[in-house]
Amino acid sequence: MFTLRRAQEADRAALYRICLETGDSGQDATAIYADPLLLGHIYAGPYLSFAPDFAFVLEDEAGVGGYVLGAPETRTFEDTLEQAWWPPLRAQFPVPPADPAARTPDERLTALIHQPRRTPGTLLANFPAHLHIDLLPRAQGGGRGRQLMDTLLEALRVTGVPGVHLGVGERNVRAQGFYRHLGFEELGRTPGAVTFGRRL
């Protein structure tokens, strides 16, 4: 039996672990990265720190088994991270090699710490919010992904957010099917990733 609740600071380690254990196109990425916290520094930690009203978790007797993390105003969120989140991480992790082909998996992530992607303004005009959702295998496939999404989308809607976007790995066809089923439309593709959006 899972319960759904707002995420708390005490969940931080669990969010980082789930981020890693679903970080290879939905599969466990533990064997890929030498530093187990890197994925979480980018895709989980900042949301708990700077958008806690839009962070929800599923919990059962074994602990936290999934989350959805959102940011209502992506540009404001990016600016906040530039001021307050990335600087200490930049001091901690060296600048990776300039040639992307020469980077290790960890260095591909530290490149995102030193040069975070800025979301195109054309996308933000209609879909200013964005989100990440990850459930461990024991929580998947029972309607709980939809439950988490409904909870976050309603929280965004009552805040007055007109639309939400997300990026998903090209290889993660399961999650792509899930988003399409929930009414998201494909907005574009870059090498390796698909962008989806949904009006609220």
Name which of 53 and 170 has its Cβ closer to ligand ACO.
Answer: 170
Among 142, 162, 183, 192, binds ligand ACO (CB under 6 A): 142
Of 81 and 168, nearer to ligand ACO (C-beta) is: 168
Residue from 29, 161, 166, 194 in contact with ligand ACO (CB under 6 A): 166
Task: Please tell me whether residue 74 binds ligand ACO under the rule CB under 6 A.
Answer: no
Given 24, 26, 44, 197, the residue binding ligand ACO (CB under 6 A): 26
What string marks each residue from 77 to 116 as x (binds ligand ACO by CB under 6 A) or -? ----------------------------------------
140 binds ligand ACO (CB under 6 A): yes
Query: Of the listed pieces 32-40, 81-89, 96-104, 133-141, which binds ligand ACO according to CB under 6 A?
Result: 133-141
* 3-class secondary structure per residue, the chain: CCEEEECCHHHHHHHHHHHHHCCECCECCCCCCCCCCHHHHHHCHHHHHHCHHHEEEEEECCEEEEEEEEECCHHHHHHHHHHHCHHHHHHHCCCCCCCHHHCCHHHHHHHHHHCCCCCCHHHHHHCCEEEEEEECHHHCCCCHHHHHHHHHHHHHHHCCCCEEEEEEECCCHHHHHHHHHCCCEEEEEECCEEEEEEEC
Verify binding: residue 177, ligand ACO, rule CB under 6 A. yes
Report the amino acid identity of residue 71. A
108 or 144: CB nearest ligand ACO: 144
Q: With contact defined as beta carbons under 8 Å apart, do 145 and 178 qualify?
A: yes
Q: Of the two residues 72 and 145, which places its CB atom closer to ligand ACO in the complex?
A: 145
If one asks whether residue 117 binds ligand ACO (CB under 6 A), the answer comes out as no
Please choose, from the candidates 57, 43, 78, the residue with its C-alpha nearest in 3D space to the C-alpha of residue 168: 43
* Binding stretches for ligand ACO (CB under 6 A): 22, 26, 132-135, 140-146, 166-168, 172, 174-175, 177-178, 181
